[in-house]
Amino acid sequence: MSLLVTPLHLETYSSWLVLQKYQTNTVRNYLLDLKMFLENSKNILSSPSITDFIASDSTQNNHARHLASISKFCQFALDQQLITENFFSLAKKHAQNPSPTRDLNRLLSQFAQSLAREHKSPTTIKNYLGDIRQYISFCESQTL
């Protein structure tokens, strides 16, 4: 299940925050953070899109504030019956217990980015990743 977030949702959310007596700066920051998340998720609010964001944003300086902003929007969406379950709570639970495949893919992606920063050629990066995947397959096929 997911929600396509529209400009009307953002406008209503802003009004909701004001009615909840949030300070002007807090409302502005929540909206900025939410828009940044929505740009990354193509305006889709879902548990998987939040889980992906949590993983990709974890090294940012304002990570905790970003999460608070998304959490508050999920609370608003639940309150307004735009969603039937709190996507943030589900995503947070999933992020704390990721699947081994998801961890491996994220680790390989980070390794590829590191190689790219070292100006390795695309062919070298592809070969390194292929070698690693082949080694992992070999290890998985071995019995203890």
The per-residue pLDDT for range 49-104, each reduced to its tens digit, is: 998 888 787 777 888 899 999 999 999 999 999 999 999 988 887 666 555 566 67
What does the pLDDT read at residue 90?
Answer: 85
Integer-rounded Cα Rg, in Å, for the chain is 19
What does the pLDDT read at residue 83?
Answer: 94
Is pTM beyond 0.75? Reply is no
What's the CATH code, domain 2-96?
Answer: 1.10.150.130
Annotated domain spans of the chain: 2-96, 100-141
